Structure 1
Amino acid sequence: MSDGTPPVAAVLLAPGETSRLPNLFDHWLAATGLPGRYLPLTVQADDLREVITALPKAGFAGVHISAPYQKMVLDHADIITDRAALMSGANTLIFRRDGKIHADNTDGYGFVENIRQNVPGWNPKAGPVVLFGAGRAARVVLSALIEVGVESIRLTARTRPKAEQLRSEFGRRIEVFDWLKAGNLAEGAAMVVNATPLGSRGYTEFRVPIDGLVSGGVACDLTIDPPATRFLRQAASYGCYTVDGVGMMIYQSAPSFERWFGERPPNDDATRYAAAS
């Protein structure tokens, strides 16, 4: 901060929510030796505007926004990045020194950077991508894949109208398939992405045949609990590259840490352990 006070940041959560971000940021602050704090703050939806307005005055450098509030916070921002507008939500608010609130979304960056760091020589144009899901996570994936040049995306979701809506927004590179007929979608594909809750703790397993993936194919699961899902373990047994949700969380959080605390954080085994705890 300009007055020498150590910066403070937080994640804003809806009632009943939890987050692993405080563990990750506490680890990074300890690992870098930088001063500062990162807090979990539970906020009622009706109080969101008041809290966001008050936090900069309390010395906060910025906040992360949990999924239920990511669209709402756009109404309280002075500056909205193109990627936050495209994703219809912000996962990060930066409280600028000129008093303006800057809304951004680093989810797509985290998704792509996680793949690039875990798949040597990854080529977005290697072949079709199969995407399961049509919620906010799927929107993030679609936006990121199109931005890096993926030419064909096979999209399926249990609620087909939601998938059709995404196709109408993101365009001709997307082809929508019925959920019940999605068993062979991975045939000849270069990547399969699970952007549904399936496979997460408390949900049924995500089961999809992936033996049809091209050689060197990629299996990506946005689930973080557990990090090593059945889907990823199966993909690894077929020789696929596997990319998990914990890595995505780390890469999407690193730019915020650097912005708020002044140094790029490490990404090592200890970081993964902290993020997954």
Structure 2
Amino acid sequence: MTDPNDTAARTALPQHAPLAGVIGWPIAHSRSPNLHGHWLKRYGIPGHYIPMPVHPDDLAEVLRILPRAGFVGLNVTIPHKEAVLALADIVTDRAALIGAANTLIFRPDGKIHADNTDGYGFIANLRQSAPDWDPSDGPTALIGAGGAARGVVAALLDAGTTELRITNRTRVRAEYIRAEFGARVVVYDWAQAGNMLDGARTVVNATSQGMEGKPPLRIPLDALDPRALVTDLVYTPLITPFLAEAQARGNPTVDGLGMLIYQAVPGFERWFSRRPETDEAARAAALGEG
């Protein structure tokens, strides 16, 4: 046992190991701790990444306390992505445009810096997993209009999508996105979701349907172009029923795990001063196989 009075032993231990984590309600499903834990171990960084269930009523208090407890930043997931914007001191342009943040940086001057890296992660995942994918090849069909969908919309429009078709069970949420992002966004009724796929070259599920414990996404794929790239933001399970059906039709597909990995890179780099590698070892770690 180490003698706590031994000066050499005390100085050999990290005195101020940086802390980061992910907050949500619930949070047990998150694979981010696996991923960040892998990177910390891989690079020998004396830090920790902690999953924390935070009730919405406690969010403001938690964000006040954590920086004083040694935290340098957080990832933010459902249902806090929109609420943290009102609590941040500095909001990046892209987070403001999207209306949500997934990455917080606690600055040395005490200010909270909010950013959104979901769109970056989404595009990076498609470009790595489907190198021939070109967002300008044809329309994109997006299913869902929640916080994650907003990041995808901003990223796809910026990447060159000429027409972004969107549908949502509650049409008004899709209409809000059109009002904010402009004429390239075309809203379809939920009942017309299958028709929305006609001629689309990229199809994205940005709903939670198909996630473990949730009902599958039921959208008819009869009109799907066989060349269309189909992707799902859900990554538990890795191959959702939606992706499995597209694969059975012969369409190229991309799962959502890569988005999780790529969106994590900017935050890790800011918190721990090391840009991590997004390789197969990181993917295995995120899956709990590392």
Equivalent position of 1:153 in the other structure? 164
Question: What does 1:19-168 align with in structure 2 at a 5 Å threshold?
Answer: 19-168=30-179
Answer whether contact 1:77 1:102 (CA < 8 A) is retained.
yes
Judge which range, 183-192 or 248-257, deviates more: 183-192
1:193 is aligned to 2:174 = no
Question: What is the CA deviation profile of residues 13-48 of structure 1, one whole-angstrom value per residue up to 9, with x for unaligned ones?
Answer: 23x432221111111112222221001122233332
SS at match of 1:131: strand
Offset of residue 213 of structure 1: 4.3
Equivalent position of 2:186 in the other structure? 175
Match of 2:219 among 203, 208, 221: 208
Question: What is the CA deviation profile of residues 207-261 of structure 1, one whole-angstrom value per residue up to 9, with x for unaligned ones?
Answer: 4344644464210101111011122223234443312111111110111111111
Give the number of the structure whose alpha-carbon radius of gyration is greater. 2
Judge which range, 104-113 or 130-139, deviates more: 130-139
Offset of residue 117 of structure 1: 0.8
Question: What is the CA deviation profile of residues 41-69 of structure 1, one whole-angstrom value per residue up to 9, with x for unaligned ones?
Answer: 22233332222122222221111112211
Answer whether contact 2:82 2:99 (CA < 8 A) is retained.
yes
Question: What is the CA deviation profile of residues 144-165 of structure 1, one whole-angstrom value per residue up to 9, with x for unaligned ones?
Answer: 1111121101111122222222
TM norm structure 1: 0.91
In structure 2, the gaps of 5 or more residues are: 1-13
Offset of residue 268 of structure 1: 2.5
Percent identical across equivalent pairs?
A: 51
Answer whether contact 1:186 1:209 (CA < 8 A) is retained.
no
TM norm structure 2: 0.87
Q: Could you tell me how far apart the structure 1 residues matched to 2:121 and 2:80 are?
A: 19
Q: Could you tell me how far apart the structure 1 residues matched to 2:111 and 2:73 are?
A: 11
Answer whether contact 1:108 1:140 (CA < 8 A) is retained.
yes
In structure 1, the gaps of 5 or more residues are: none
Seen in structure 2, the aligned counterparts of structure 1 residues 232 and 39 have a Cα distance that, compared at 3 Å, is same
Provide the aligned length of Structure 1 versus Structure 2: 274
Q: Could you tell me how far apart the structure 2 residues matched to 1:263 and 1:45 are?
A: 31
Q: What's the Cα RMSD here?
A: 1.9
SS at match of 2:79: helix
Answer whether contact 2:135 2:202 (CA < 8 A) is retained.
no
Q: Could you tell me how far apart the structure 2 residues matched to 1:17 and 1:63 are?
A: 13
Offset of residue 4 of structure 1: 6.6
